[in-house]
């Protein structure tokens, strides 16, 4: 069944878009990430003009994260104080990031720098996440009586050493505000540079740098994604006029249902297994981007769209 | 339907016995539909042109029909290697390129007329796409233009169908031009040309409108006129959908 998009000025397959929405929602609900890193390239692959894919993708991420956030609110598995702190510094980071991006563009190597940095970052995060979670998973299987402190990787205590300590009652932490603020700021810069939310970086960082209890990580990250994705959909939508509500609507129907299923699955499987999955996705993403750098692209040419958006 | 009356009149004039008149090729043509509606189920359409041609002399006339969509600025970019990595791109801008350009004819256009005549009368996509002056000097500009045209051909926005015009022995003809879902809204012109011995002898100009209707039109116009409200509405819609789905699911699980 084909459906015509009024802003993109083209027809897409309704069921295909519904399926893409559901897949992205599932991932978003399971891990508390936006899924924009998956959705936007998929939309572009199916011929949606890039500005429309970016804005409509952000809109769908907002819906998916709202859907996965609701059960977390009811279960009180969000540290709002920490999330707000990171969101505020994140917004500043987006501002700084867009200035950096303009500067890199003027030099002419914006694409190279950003992509190489991304591959290294994602590769590092993916490998360490996988190593930690697999080790911990195997130890759990082999010997349940093993001392729990041995099975856990030594966590950073940077938050306890730095000044400006603040109490985060929900996370049962009394740490410096510097790591969460710095984290929000860095994620903000990255989302401005890469055009993706950065949730997949936030989750490991919350576990290993901030020492947040793993049960709170998914909800707290989803809150951050919600704010970022809503802001992107609104600001970019006004700038480029690329929000196609028919496209977003179809994707959202799939995404909100997928997000609910995702959060049910996420609760059923163990923390280590969830981290193994997330680590694999991040590593796969790093490999795909690295591949794009080295392998001759199938489509060398890209043209402006005949219809809307541009 | 009012164009049908004109068409019938045209046929009557052409097909009437012509004793005493100076021998001349005559053409009458009309569109089957004067508008194409972009509804929510639009996935491409077919534009049909009916007509009649009455040729003087022995040789049979050839008919070429051009359908041309609104012009828009366009660009093409090609991925290139920088520092041995696929990261850079080169771009060529076009001042104007038709968003849709369909050429249908009664036989292969090269058999109908010479290349320079084709160019003069704009029968090829190549003669319709104009490179921006400051890009025209670049050595790769012409290659990029060719690639641009072939990309649009892949999208079925530019097409060339040498079997698209069917002429009866009586001189009546019918031309079908297929338009893809990517066809943008706007004013389209249809030019019918009759060639004889490689020379154009008569032309006829028609036009039709491709327009959004119903919900598609409402959304599009609202988005353009009330950008801010539309942006806020989009976010509310997304968050509302997320909220409702979570509530619905909780009820299912609770039950």
Query: Per-domain residue ranges for chain A?
Result: 2-294
Nearest CB to B78: which of A116, A301, A306? Answer: A301
Query: If you write DSSP's letter for every residue of A206-230 in order, what string do you get?
Result: HHHTS---HHHHHHHHHHHHHHHHH
- The contacts of residue A103 (CB under 8 Å, 6+ apart) are none
Q: How many angstroms separate the CA of residue A135 from the nearest CA in chain B? A: 35
The whole-number pLDDT of residue B237 equals 94
**Is A177:A85 a contact under the CB 8 Å cutoff?**
yes
The whole-number pLDDT of residue A150 equals 42
Confidence of residue B163 (pLDDT cuts 50, 70, 90): very high
Residue B238 reports pLDDT greater than 80: yes
Low-confidence ranges of chain A (pLDDT < 50): 146-153, 309-310
Overall average pLDDT of the B115-144 stretch: 89
Which chain A residues are Cβ-neighbours of B100 within 8 angstroms? 306
Confidence of residue B216 (pLDDT cuts 50, 70, 90): confident
Residue B22 reports pLDDT greater than 50: no
Predicted complex ipTM: 0.80
> Is A295 in Cβ contact with B182 (below 8 Å)?
no
The whole-number pLDDT of residue A86 equals 87
Which chain B residues are Cβ-neighbours of A253 within 8 angstroms? 241
> Is B231 in Cβ contact with A238 (below 8 Å)?
yes
* Pairing outcome for strands B158-161 and B101-105: parallel
- The contacts of residue B21 (CB under 8 Å, 6+ apart) are none
pTM value?
0.80
**Is B104:B137 a contact under the CB 8 Å cutoff?**
no
* Residue of A1, A3, A4, A35 to mutate, interface with B, max B Cβ within 10 Å: A4
The whole-number pLDDT of residue B54 equals 81
Name the residue among A308, A47, A49 with its Cα closest to residue B99: A308
Mean pLDDT of chain B: 86
Assess B236–A contact: CB distance below 8 Å, yes or no. Answer: no
Nearest CB to A234: which of B87, B89, B232? Answer: B232
Angle between helices B227-254 and A214-240 (to 10 degrees): 150
Residue B254 reports pLDDT greater than 60: no
Question: What would the pLDDT profile of B63-103 be if each residue is shown by its tens digit?
Answer: 999 999 999 888 898 888 877 778 777 889 998 899 999 99
- The contacts of residue A218 (CB under 8 Å, 6+ apart) are A31, A32, A68, A72, A77, A203, A263, A266
Name the residue among B144, B81, B159 with its Cα closest to residue A303: B144
Residue B144 reports pLDDT greater than 60: yes
């Amino acid at each position: 069944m084909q459906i015509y998009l009024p802003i993109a000025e083209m027809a897409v397959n309704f069921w295909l878009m519904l399926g893409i929405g559901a897949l992205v929602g599932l991932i978003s609900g399971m891990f508390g990430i936006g899924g924009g890193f998956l959705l936007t390239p998929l939309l572009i692959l199916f011929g949606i003009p890039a500005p429309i894919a970016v804005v409509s993708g952000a809109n769908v991420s907002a819906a998916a994260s709202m859907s996965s956030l609701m059960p977390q609110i009811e279960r009180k598995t969000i540290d709002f104080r920490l999330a707000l702190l990171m969101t505020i510094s994140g917004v500043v980071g987006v501002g700084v990031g867009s200035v950096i991006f303009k500067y890199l563009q003027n030099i002419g190597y914006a694409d190279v720098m950003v992509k190489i940095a991304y591959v290294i970052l994602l590769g590092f995060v993916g490998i360490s996440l996988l190593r930690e979670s697999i080790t911990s998973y195997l130890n759990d299987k082999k010997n349940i009586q093993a001392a729990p402190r041995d099975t856990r990787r030594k966590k950073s205590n940077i938050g306890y050493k730095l000044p400006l300590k603040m109490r985060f009652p929900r996370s049962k932490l009394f740490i410096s505000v510097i790591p969460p603020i710095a984290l929000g700021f860095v994620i903000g810069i990255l989302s401005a540079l890469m055009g993706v939310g950065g949730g997949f970086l936030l989750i490991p960082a919350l576990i290993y740098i901030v020492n947040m209890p793993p049960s709170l990580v998914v909800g707290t990250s989803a809150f951050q994604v919600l704010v970022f994705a809503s802001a992107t959909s609104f600001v970019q939508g006004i700038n480029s006029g690329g929000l196609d509500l028919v496209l977003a609507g179809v994707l959202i129907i799939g995404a909100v249902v997928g997000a609910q299923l995702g959060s049910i699955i996420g609760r059923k499987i163990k923390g280590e297994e969830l981290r193994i999955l997330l680590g694999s996705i991040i590593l796969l993403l790093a490999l795909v981007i690295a591949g794009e750098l080295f392998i001759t692209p199938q489509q060398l040419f890209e043209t402006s769209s005949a219809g809307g958006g541009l | 339907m009012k164009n049908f009356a004109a068409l019938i009149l045209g046929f009557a004039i052409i097909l009437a016995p012509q004793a005493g008149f100076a021998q001349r090729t005559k053409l009458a043509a009309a569109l089957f539909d004067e508008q194409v509606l972009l509804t929510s189920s639009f996935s491409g359409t077919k534009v049909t042109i009916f007509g009649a041609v009455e040729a003087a002399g022995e040789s049979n006339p050839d008919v070429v029909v051009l359908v041309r969509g609104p012009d828009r600025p366009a660009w093409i970019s090609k991925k290139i290697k920088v520092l041995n990595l696929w990261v850079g791109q080169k771009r060529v801008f076009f001042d104007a390129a038709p968003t849709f350009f369909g050429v249908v004819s009664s036989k292969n256009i090269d058999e109908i007329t010479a290349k320079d005549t084709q160019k003069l009368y704009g029968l090829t996509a190549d003669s319709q796409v104009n490179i921006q002056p400051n890009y025209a000097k670049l050595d790769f500009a012409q290659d990029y233009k060719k690639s641009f045209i072939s990309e649009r051909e892949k999208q079925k926005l530019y097409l060339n169908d040498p079997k698209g015009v069917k002429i009866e022995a009586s001189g009546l003809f019918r031309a079908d031009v297929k338009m893809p879902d990517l066809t943008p809204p706007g004013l389209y012109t249809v030019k019918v040309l009759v060639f004889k011995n490689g020379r154009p002898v008569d032309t006829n100009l028609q036009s039709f409108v491709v327009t959004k209707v119903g919900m598609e039109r409402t959304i599009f116009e609202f988005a353009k006129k009330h950008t801010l409200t539309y942006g806020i509405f989009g976010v509310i819609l997304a968050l509302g959908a997320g909220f409702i789905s979570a509530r619905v699911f909780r009820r299912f699980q609770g039950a």
